[in-house]
Amino acid sequence: MRKKQFKAESKKLLDMMINSIYTHKEIFLRELISNASDALDKLYFRSLTDDSVHLNRDDFYIRITPDKENRTLTVSDNGIGMTAEELENNLGVIAKSGSQTFKNEQGENENADVEIIGQFGVGFYSAFMVSKKVQVISRAFGSDEANCWEADGVDGYVVYPAQKETVGTDIILYISDNTDEVNYDEFLDTYRLTALVKKYSNYIRYPIKMESETSRPVEGKEGEYETVKEDKTLNSMLPLWKKNKSEITEEEYDAFYKEVYYDYEAPIRVIHSKTEGQATYNALLFIPAHAPFNYYTKEYEKGLQLYSKGVLITDKCADLLPDHFNFVRGLVDSEDLSLNISREMLQHDHQLKLIAKTIEKKIRSELARMLSTDREKYEKFFDAFGNSLKFGVYNDYGMHKDELQDLLLFKSSNEEKYVTLKEYTERMKSDQTAIYYASGETVDKIKMLPQTEAAKDKGFEILYLTDYVDEFAVKTMMQYAEKTFVNICSAEADFDTAEEKEKLKEDNASFEEMFGFMKNVLGDAVQTVRFTHKLKTHPVCLSSEGMLSADMERVLNSMPGNQGVKAELALEINENHPIAEKIKDLYASDREKLTRYTKLLYGEARLIGGMQIDDPTEFATLVCELM
Ligand code: ADP
C-alpha cells in the first residue's frame, strides 16, 4: 500500500509530537477523550431528529482498554464515526482551527510547542507523544463499511478497509517502548489511567468506562478473595458547578473544595455564578479561610482552573485573576471555548480577558457583601489576605485604588478595632479636616509615639498602620472621600488654631539663630529644628518633612537591595515644656552644654519614635555625664 503524505503543517506538528520532550505527555488521553465526546455529541444531536440512530442518551459511552501484553491502549466511542474520506481529511491535516494557531505561534516563538501542548493540547496528534504507531478504525454512521487509518511516523499514513461491527471509532495506540527518561508503561496501568481521567476528563458528560480488576471476598468462604473483572465508570460526569445553586448544599461545596484544592479547612466564602452575555461561563470560586503555607513565597502561583465544556484546559490560568485577588481558588468553565476555539484564544484572548474582567468584579462585590453582612468573617479574611488588597491599592501606580479602597481595614485608636475608611470618615469630628494615621512596627510602639497625644487630645481617631505596605498604600490613595491622609508624625499634622499658628511662627522666627546653631550640631541628621505645639507631656519629637516618613525609611532600608534612603526630618521641641526655657538659657550662657543637650534631645526623639540611635556610645556617654 502506498503511503500518503501528510500536509506540511501536519507533518511539522506530528514531528514535534513524536520527538516531544514535553513532560506532561499524559494530556494525550484528555485530547482523545474530548474528540470521542465530540463524536458522541454529533451522533446524539443527530438522534434527536433521525429515528434511524436507535440510540438513547444513556447508550453513548467512551471506553478505555489497556492491553499490557500487546502494549496497546484503545480509546473507543460509539459516536458518529468517520468514512474513509473523512479519515483522510480529518487526520491527514490538522483541524483548521488548530493549524492556524500552530502556524502563527510557530513563527514567533521557539517555545511554542510546550505552550500549545500544555495549555490547549494539540488534538489527535498528541497520541504520538506516547505511541510509536496509531491505528484509527472507524465506521461512520449510516455506512456498513469500516476503514482503518494508520501511521507510524512522519513519512505518511495509509487508509484501508477494515472490520468493525458497530458504528463508532477505536483509536489504538501502540505505546512506545520505555526509555531512560520516560516510563511509558504507566499509560497501560489502570490506576494511572483512572487518575488521568479524573484529573482531566472528570466532567465529560458521557461515561468513560474501563474494565479493571478488583479483589473481593468469595461468597460463603471466609477469608478467601477472588479477583474479578468489573466495568467501572471513571468520571463523575456532572460537574458540581453546572448544577443549580439551589440544589447544592454547603457541605457539597465544602467537600468539593477540600478535595480539589487540598485544604483541610472549608472555604470562608463560596462564589458560584453563571454569566451569560458577551462571555458565557460558569464560575465556581472559593476564598480560603487561611493563607496556604506557601502563599508568601515565590512558589505560590495564582490562577484558576480553566475548563471548556467540562474538559480541563489548564490547571492554573493566571490571566483570570488580578494580583490583588491572587488568593482566590476555583474554576471557570466556558461553553464558548470548545477545545478547538480555545486554541485560537492564544491569539484572540479577548474572550478570556472579558471573563477575567467580570470575575474581578464578581469577587469584589462578594467581598463587599461579606464586609457589610458578616463583619466577623470578613475580618478573619482580612487577617489572612488583607495584604494582597493593600498591595493592590499600591501596585500599578494606584490604578485599582478606587475599586479596592472600600475593602480595606485598619486598626485604629478607637478600641484598637478594625475600621473601614468609610466608617472612619463618617465618624470624623466636625473640626477634623484630615484622616490621621501613624505608622510603626506594632500598635504598642505606635501608641508610644509622642505625636499621638495631641491628636487624641482633640478626640481625633488615628489609624494604626503596622504592615509595611500600609503607608505605601495610603500614600498612593492620598485622599479618601476628599479627605487627605496625614501622618501625625509629619509637619502637616498641625492642630493649632490660626492664632496659635501665627504665634508659633513668630516664636520660631525669633529663635532662628538658636535653631540654626542646634541644626549645625546635628548636621545632616535633621533638616531643621523648631518649636511645636503638637506635644503634650513629651519634650521632643521627630517629624517628617517630605513624602517619606521615618517609618517608610525604616521599611525601605530593611528590604534587600535598599539604597539607604533617608527621610527628611525636623527636630521639634515642645514649646510649652520646661526644656524650651532651658535651651533658651543655654544658648545665651553655655553653648557647649547646649551642644550636648541637642544631641541628647535628638537621641531621645529617635528612641521614642521607635528608631535606632545613630551613635549609641556617644548617647550613653552623654547620659552618664548628665548623671
Ligand atoms: P480537533 O479535535 O481540534 O478538530 P483533532 O486533530 O483532534 O482536531 O481531530 C481532527 C478531526 O478528526 C476532528 O475535528 C474530528 O472531525 C475527527 N475526529 C477525531 N477523533 C474522532 C473520533 N473519535 N470520532 C469521530 N471523529 C473524530
Q: Give per-residue pLDDT as tens, 169-189.
A: 999 999 999 999 899 999 999
pLDDT score recorded for residue 561: 73
Ligand 1 proximity of 120 Cβ (cutoff 6 Å): no
pLDDT at 154 over 80: yes
If you measure from the C-alpha of residue 124 to the centroid of ligand 1, how many angstroms do you get, rounded to a whole number? 6
| Residue among 38, 44, 96, 343 whose CB has most ligand 1 atoms within 8 A, to mutate | 38
Q: Which ligand 1 atom is the nearest neighbour of the CA of 340?
A: 3
If you measure from the C-alpha of residue 582 to the centroid of ligand 1, how many angstroms do you get, rounded to a whole number? 92
User: Per mean pLDDT, which range of 152-161, 223-232, 303-312 is the poorest?
Assistant: 303-312
Q: How many helices (H) and strands (E) does the chain have?
A: 21, 22
Considering the domain architecture, whether residues 410 and 369 belong to the same structural domain is answered as: no
Q: Which ligand 1 atom is the nearest neighbour of the CA of 98?
A: 3
- What are the residues facing 275 on neighbouring strands? 281
Q: Give the end-to-end CA distance of the chain in Å, rounded to a whole number.
A: 109
Assigned domain for 149 exists: yes
Interval 457-483: pLDDT, tens: 889 999 999 998 999 999 999 999 999
If you measure from the C-alpha of residue 169 to the centroid of ligand 1, how many angstroms do you get, rounded to a whole number? 10
Q: Which of 205, 233, 261 is the last residue of a domain?
A: 233
Q: Which of 356, 373, 390 is the last residue of a domain?
A: 373
Considering the domain architecture, whether residues 270 and 212 belong to the same structural domain is answered as: no
Q: Which of 466, 487, 508 is the last residue of a domain?
A: 487
Interval 437-453: pLDDT, tens: 999 989 998 998 888 88
Cβ 203 vs Cβ 238: under 8 Å: yes
If you measure from the C-alpha of residue 331 to the centroid of ligand 1, how many angstroms do you get, rounded to a whole number? 26
Ligand 1 proximity of 98 Cβ (cutoff 6 Å): yes
Considering the domain architecture, whether residues 77 and 29 belong to the same structural domain is answered as: yes
Cβ 435 vs Cβ 484: under 8 Å: yes
Considering the domain architecture, whether residues 450 and 585 belong to the same structural domain is answered as: no
Considering the domain architecture, whether residues 362 and 424 belong to the same structural domain is answered as: no
Considering the domain architecture, whether residues 30 and 159 belong to the same structural domain is answered as: yes
pLDDT score recorded for residue 142: 94
Q: Which three cell numbers stand for residue 342?
A: 480555545
Task: Please identify which residue in the block is written with the cell numbers 488548530.
Answer: 98
Considering the domain architecture, whether residues 506 and 437 belong to the same structural domain is answered as: no
Cα-Cα-Cα-Cα dihedral sign, residues 556, 559, 564, 570: positive
The count of domains in the chain is 4
Assigned domain for 394 exists: no
Considering the domain architecture, whether residues 188 and 256 belong to the same structural domain is answered as: no
Domain of 468, CATH number, reads 3.40.50.11260
Interval 349-392: pLDDT, tens: 677 888 999 999 999 999 999 999 999 999 999 999 999 999 99
| Residue among 90, 99, 170, 308 whose CB has most ligand 1 atoms within 8 A, to mutate | 90
Q: Whose CA is nearest to atom 12 of ligand 1?
A: 90
Q: Which ligand 1 atom is the nearest neighbour of the CA of 36?
A: 23
Helix (H, G, I), strand (E, B) or coil at 534: coil
User: Per mean pLDDT, which range of 47-61, 545-559, 601-615 is the poorest?
Assistant: 545-559
Interval 514-560: pLDDT, tens: 999 999 999 999 999 999 988 888 899 999 887 888 888 878 887 77
If you measure from the C-alpha of residue 324 to the centroid of ligand 1, how many angstroms do you get, rounded to a whole number? 40
| Residue among 10, 124, 201 whose CB has most ligand 1 atoms within 8 A, to mutate | 124
The rounded Cα 70 to chain-centroid distance in angstroms is 45
Considering the domain architecture, whether residues 139 and 83 belong to the same structural domain is answered as: yes
Considering the domain architecture, whether residues 434 and 512 belong to the same structural domain is answered as: no
- Reduced DSSP (H G I as helix, E B as strand, rest coil) percent helix, strand, coil of the chain, to 5: 45, 20, 35
Phi, psi (5° rounding) for residue 365? -70, -30
Q: Which ligand 1 atom is the nearest neighbour of the CA of 75?
A: 23
What is the rounded CA–CA span in Å between residue 475 and residue 393? 10
Q: What mean pLDDT do residues 587-613 have? A: 91
Cα-Cα-Cα-Cα dihedral sign, residues 156, 162, 168, 173: negative
Q: Whose CA is nearest to atom 17 of ligand 1?
A: 90
The rounded radius of gyration (Å) of the Cα atoms in the chain is 36
Q: Which three cell numbers stand for residue 361?
A: 468584579
Q: Which region, left, alpha or beta, applies to residue 537 given φ > 0 means left and ψ of -120 to 50 means alpha? A: alpha
| Residues of the domain holding 326 | 240-373
Q: Which three cell numbers stand for residue 610?
A: 521607635
Phi, psi (5° rounding) for residue 314? -150, 145
Domain of 510, CATH number, reads 1.20.120.790
C-alpha separations of 314 from 102, 120, 318 in Å = 18, 7, 10
Considering the domain architecture, whether residues 483 and 512 belong to the same structural domain is answered as: no
Q: Give which of 140, 111, 156 is closest to 8, Cα–Cα.
A: 156
Assigned domain for 4 exists: no
Q: Give which of 488, 462, 482 is closest to 549, Cα–Cα.
A: 488
Q: Give which of 120, 136, 449 is closest to 315, Cα–Cα.
A: 120
Assigned domain for 1 exists: no
The rounded Cα 235 to chain-centroid distance in angstroms is 28
Ligand 1 proximity of 36 Cβ (cutoff 6 Å): yes
The one-letter code for the residue type at 616 is P
Q: Which residues contact 543 (CB under 8 A, 6 or more apart)?
A: 451, 489, 490, 491, 493, 532, 534, 569, 570, 572
Assigned domain for 147 exists: yes
If you measure from the C-alpha of residue 90 to the centroid of ligand 1, how many angstroms do you get, rounded to a whole number? 6
Considering the domain architecture, whether residues 90 and 189 belong to the same structural domain is answered as: yes
Q: Which three cell numbers stand for residue 585?
A: 538659657
Assigned domain for 493 exists: no
Assigned domain for 144 exists: yes
Q: Which residues contact 594 (CB under 8 A, 6 or more apart)?
A: 517, 518, 521, 583, 586, 587
Q: Whose CA is nearest to atom 23 of ligand 1?
A: 36
Confidence of residue 160 (pLDDT cuts 50, 70, 90): very high
> Exposed, middle or buried: residue 297 (CB in 10 Å: 0-12, 13-18, 19+)?
exposed
pLDDT score recorded for residue 340: 47
Domain of 340, CATH number, reads 3.30.230.80
If you measure from the C-alpha of residue 35 to the centroid of ligand 1, how many angstroms do you get, rounded to a whole number? 5
Assigned domain for 6 exists: no
